[in-house]
Amino acid sequence: MIDILAVAGHFRLGDVHPRPDIPIAGSPERTEFRLVVEDFNGRLIILEQVNAGRAGHKKDVAQVLACLSAGGIQQVVPFLTDGSGETLALVQGQYWQAVPYVSGVPLDRPAYAFEGWRGAAAARFLVAMRKAAAQSPGLRRPSFDLPAYIDGLWRAIRRRRSDVEAAFMPMKRHVDAALYPLYSRLPTGFCHGDYHAVNIIWGAATIHAVIDWEFLGVKPELYDAANMLACLGIEDPAALEGDYVRDFIGTLKGSGLFAAESFRVLPDLMIGLRFAWLSEWLRKNDEDMIQMELDYFEILKERREDLAAL
C-alpha cells in the first residue's frame, strides 16, 4: 500500500490529496507508479515511484535538469528537493521523485505536424539548450554509439526473428554504407535523446515544457533534430514537406550553431534512429508497427535528397 502522504511529507508538500483525474504526459514506462497530487495552495505535483535499479540514473537526470534550468531554459522543469536537498527520496523502502505538473494543450494529431510555428519553437528550444550546455561542463555526459546499438539489435533480430532480418536487410545495408562511415566524425553536443512532439507540453502558441529526459547525453549534434523529423514523418509522410519541417530546419540553420556536415547526414541519421523504434515495436510484439516501419524506411530513402536540400 502506497502512503502518498508520507511521500509528500518527505518533499515538504504538506497535506495533499490525489488527483487521479488529471492525465500525465509522457511514457508511463519511465516509472513504477506516478500520480498527480494537489497541495493546500492548489499546486499540482507529480509523485513518481522509481525502480531501485534506475535510481542512480534518475538522480543524474535530475541534476542535469537542474543545471539546464539554472542556465535559463524555462521549458526545463527541475525536480523538487527534500529536506536534505536531494531529488531522490527513499520512503518506506521505495525511491521517489517529485516534479511540478505542467498543463498543456493536447496535440491535434496529425494536423500539428504541418504547423510551422511548432517547428520554429521546437528548433529554438534545441538552440537554447545547445547554448546552455556550452556553458555547463557538467552536461558532458557519456556519448551514445548508434551504430553499436543498431548492430546489437541486429544480432538479437538474427537470433529471434529471421523474418524481420530478411525484411529489414535493405535498411541495415543502407545505414552500414551511408551512416556508419560518417557517424564517428560528426560534430557532437548535448542532446535530449528522445526529442519529439509528444515529449513536448505545448501551449496555444509556445512550448510550456520538455519532458522524458531518460536518454539524455552527448550524441551527434542533430540527433534530436533527426528524431523529431522522423517522428513527424511517421505521423503523416506528407509532413516531411510541410511547414513544421521547413521552419524547424530553417531555424536550426539560421542559428549558425550546427555544422553543414551534420545537415548533409541528417536524412541518414533519421533512418538510423528508426532502428530504436523498431526495437520498441519488437519488444511490444506490435506487428502492425513493424510493417509500418518497413514501409516508412522506403519513404525516408526516397526523400533523402529533398530533406538534405531544405
pLDDT in tens, 250-284: 999 999 999 999 999 999 999 999 999 999 999 99
164 and 38 housed in the same domain:
no
pLDDT above 80 (res 137): no
pLDDT above 80 (res 139): no
Whole-number Å distance between alpha carbons of 4 and 35:
9
186 and 221 housed in the same domain:
yes
- Number of Cβ within 10 Å of residue 196's Cβ equals 18
Please identify, among 100, 125, 150, the residue that sits at the C-terminal boundary of a domain. 100
119 and 236 housed in the same domain:
yes
Please identify, among 62, 79, 100, the residue that sits at the C-terminal boundary of a domain. 100
The x, y and z cell numbers of residue 90, run together, are 527513499
Domain presence at residue 72: yes
Contact 309, 268 (CB under 8 A): no
139 and 251 housed in the same domain:
yes
pTM across the whole model = 0.95
Domain presence at residue 105: no
Segment 219-240 shows an average pLDDT of: 96
Segment 92-113 shows an average pLDDT of: 95
CA dihedral for 222, 223, 228, 233, sign (positive or negative) = positive
Contact 179, 271 (CB under 8 A): yes
203 and 244 housed in the same domain:
yes
pLDDT above 90 (res 130): yes
Q: Residue 75 carries which DSSP code?
A: T
Q: Residue 310 carries which DSSP code?
A: -
For residue 219, the cross-strand partners are: 189
Which positions ≥6 away from 36 have C-beta within 8 Å? 18, 19, 20, 22, 24, 44, 45, 46, 47, 101
Please identify, among 100, 123, 141, the residue that sits at the C-terminal boundary of a domain. 100
Whole-number Å distance between alpha carbons of 31 and 211:
13
The band of 133, judged by pLDDT with boundaries at 50, 70 and 90, is confident
The CATH number assigned to the domain holding 227 equals 3.90.1200.10
What is the DSSP track for 203-240? -SSSEEEE---TT-EEEETTHHHHHHHHHHHHH-GGGG
Nearest to 171 by CA among 2, 304, 308, 15: 304
Domain presence at residue 259: yes
The CATH number assigned to the domain holding 96 equals 3.30.200
Domain presence at residue 51: yes
Domain presence at residue 106: no
Domain presence at residue 78: yes
* pLDDT more than 90, % of the chain: 88
Q: Classify burial at 15, counting beta carbons within 10 Å of its beta carbon; exposed 0-12, middle 13-18, buried 19 or more.
A: exposed
pLDDT above 80 (res 142): no
For residue 34, the cross-strand partners are: 48
Segment 234-246 shows an average pLDDT of: 96
Which residue segment(s) compose the domain that 86 sits in? 4-100
172 and 247 housed in the same domain:
yes
Domain presence at residue 219: yes
96 and 129 housed in the same domain:
no
271 and 136 housed in the same domain:
yes
Q: Given this model, what pLDDT does residue 29 score? A: 87
Q: Chain-wide mean pLDDT for the chain?
A: 94
pLDDT above 70 (res 1): no
Distances, alpha carbon 157 to alpha carbons 69, 151, 163, 172, 179, in Å: 40, 10, 9, 11, 20
Question: 189-209, pLDDT tens digit by residue?
Answer: 999 999 999 999 999 999 999
Contact 56, 85 (CB under 8 A): no
pLDDT above 90 (res 46): yes
Instruction: Work out how many domains the chain is built from and give that number.
Output: 2
136 and 225 housed in the same domain:
yes
Q: Given this model, what pLDDT does residue 83 score? A: 84
118 and 223 housed in the same domain:
yes
27 and 73 housed in the same domain:
yes
86 and 152 housed in the same domain:
no
Question: 154-195, pLDDT tens digit by residue?
Answer: 999 999 999 999 999 999 999 999 999 999 999 999 999 999
Whole-number Å distance between alpha carbons of 77 and 162:
43
Pairing verdict, β 217-220 and 188-191 = antiparallel
Segment 14-18 shows an average pLDDT of: 92
The x, y and z cell numbers of residue 240, run together, are 516531411
Whole-number Å distance between alpha carbons of 259 and 253:
9
Domain presence at residue 33: yes
